[in-house]
Amino acid sequence: MDKTIAFLVAPEGVEQVELTEPWKAVKQAGGTPKLVSTGAGQVQGFNHLDRADTFAVDATVDQVSAADFDGLVLPGGVANPDFLRTVPQAVAFAKGFFDAGKPVAAICHAPWTLIEADVVRGRTVTSWPSLRTDLRNAGATWEDREVVVCTGGPNKLVTSRKPDDLKAFCQATVDAFG
Active site positions, annotated = 108-109
Residue 122, sorted as left (phi over 0), alpha (psi -120 to 50) or beta, turns out to be left
- List the Cα angle 120/62/81 in 5-degree steps: 40
Residue 61: partners with Cβ closer than 8 Å, 6 or more residues away: 8, 36, 37, 38, 87, 89, 90, 92, 93
Whether residue 70 contacts residue 96, with contact meaning beta carbons closer than 8 Å, is answered with: no
Residue 163, number of CB atoms within 10 A of its CB = 17
Whether residue 46 contacts residue 76, with contact meaning beta carbons closer than 8 Å, is answered with: no
